[in-house]
Amino acid sequence: MLTDVWSLGGLFLAAFGAATILPFQSEVVFVGLQIGTLVPVWLLVVVASIGNVLGAVVNYALGLGIEHYRHRRWFPVTEAQLARAQDWYVRWGVWTLLLSWAPLGDAFTVIAGIMRTPLWLFLLLVTVAKTGRYMVLAWATVLAAGGVP
């Protein structure tokens, strides 16, 4: 039982880190726990989703605060890159947050903060996207293992 708590904690941290701008991957941890433990898959989905959404909230907060630092010499993004990202977000809108699960999805969550997307809408779309991703991953793992979903 204590092992399960540690496993879920590790999954939460991996999912949290994977949603930030840090180079983490949570899928391997998720699949490993799904195959190697008796933790119910619904609990794995819930823990991974909460961690991943909270990591995206960190990106959103970074976006909210980015305006304060954008004219500093050490700022990692050029004005042109930032303007291009903002134009892209204006064109495609908040619906890009449904791609927040994708490899470049972290950028969408930062841009959502820059563009002052309402937090409730951000949380709704990001939660749908990230929870959906873990549900599909769990289903694919069952299929790959030869089971019936």
Sequence spans of domains, the chain: 2-144
Provide the percentage of residues in the chain whose pLDDT is more than 90: 58
Would you state the pLDDT for residue 98? 96
* pTM for the model: 0.86
Residue 138 C-alpha from the chain's centroid: 16
**Rounded Cα gap, residues 35 and 33, in angstroms:** 5
Q: How far apart are the first and last CA of the chain?
A: 25
Which residues neighbour 76 within 8 Å (Cβ) at sequence distance 6 or greater?
Answer: none
Per-residue pLDDT tens over the stretch 44-93:
999 999 999 999 999 999 989 886 766 666 666 677 877 787 787 888 88
- Write phi, then psi, for 31 (nearest 5 degrees): -65, -40
pLDDT at residue 149 above 60? no
Nearest to 102 by CA among 64, 66, 129, 69: 129
Mean pLDDT of the chain: 88
Would you state the pLDDT for residue 74? 61
